Amino acid sequence: MNTNASPARRHYRAIWISDVHLGFKGSRAEFLLDFLDATDSDYLFLVGDIIDVWSMRKTFYWPQAHNDVIRAILAKARNGTRVIYIPGNHDEIFRDYVGEVFGRLEIHRDYVHTTADGRRLLILHGDEFDSVVKCSPWLARLGSLAYGWLIRANRYLNSVRRHFGFPYWSLANYLKHRVKNAVNYISSFENAVLREARERRVQGVVCGHIHRAEIHRMDGITYCNDGDWVESCTALVESAEGKLELLSWTETVAAREAASNSDEIEAQAA
């Protein structure tokens, strides 16, 4: 990753990230570190699966970059950002600490955030609406193992693509959008989350869990999924005016590197 031309730091009212999966070899912690270094916010929401305890129980993996992500988040809390952590299914052991506050880092089961323009957003990880996780935990773990194989294959594929000058491409995302069962699952998940939002009488919902970044409205409710930092490297952000937007950090880094390479070529030609 080219960090010689880092962008000016951006400030947001709120940032949502989830599904970082620290402790899993597929976690793209370097991209998240770059994102955290380039952004500031009043609120930082950690919407579950920040640490992949499931993966670490099988094989312990914790490189320096994963430690640096934790340090960066805690530094933001010390410097005034209100950090709200909502554990997911892969880091569910931290649900034992719901209600605890460590400095400016708070642990909640779910949370209602009011945007700058007055909308109430329900924030939760989303695994409680996943029938596989809820009804058959062993099957969910088998799926997690298969997902790990897919991510490893994706890593090798992209090393070949980089060799030939092609940008990053997510095999997992491609399959999710093409396989009928996956599309039906995503639709069912979104509908279940939206039902919960209606029952809680909020204007929107923010979740993670399914690794598919999305913003859309249905029946007057805004559905937001902030994606992940394994495949897409996405975050949901709120502007000072309350506008919600998805950022793809792989695209940001690719654009930055392209601009840097262009500047180098122009400098050499001058």
DSSP-derived secondary structure for 22-36: BTSTT--HHHHHHHH
Report the pLDDT value the prediction gives residue 41, as an integer from 0 to 100. Answer: 98
pLDDT score recorded for residue 103: 85
Instruction: Give per-residue pLDDT as tens, 84-97.
Output: 999 999 999 999 99
What pLDDT score was predicted for residue 189? Answer: 85
Q: Is the pLDDT score of 13 beyond 70?
A: yes
Least confident of 55-69, 128-142, 214-228, 244-258: 128-142
249: left (phi over 0), alpha (psi -120 to 50) or beta: alpha
Residue 135: is its pLDDT beyond 50?
Answer: no
Residue 34 buriedness (CB in 10 A; 0-12 / 13-18 / 19+): buried
Supply the pLDDT for residue 8.
Answer: 77
Residue 112 DSSP symbol: E
The answer to whether residue 188 scores a pLDDT higher than 50 is: yes
Query: How far is residue 139's CA from residue 219's CA, in Å, rounded to a whole number?
Result: 33
Torsion over CA of 149, 151, 155 and 158, rounded to 10 degrees?
120
CA-wise closest residue to 22 among 253, 247, 172, 230: 230
φ, ψ of residue 49 in degrees (nearest 5): 55, 40
Q: Contact, 14 vs 39, CB < 8 A?
A: no
Tens digit of each residue's pLDDT (9 = 90 or more) over 142-171: 445 555 555 566 666 666 666 666 666 565
**Percentage of the chain exceeding pLDDT 90:** 61
Q: What is the mean pLDDT of residues 179-206?
A: 79
Most confident of 67-71, 162-166, 207-211, 215-219: 67-71
Where do the domains of the chain lie? 11-263
- 11-263: CATH topology is Purple Acid Phosphatase; chain A, domain 2 (3.60.21)
This prediction has a pTM of: 0.79
Q: For residue 138, name the pLDDT band (cuts at 50, 70, 90).
A: very low
Alpha carbons within 13 angstroms on the beta-carbon side of residue 102 total 12
- Tell me the mean pLDDT in the region 45-69: 96
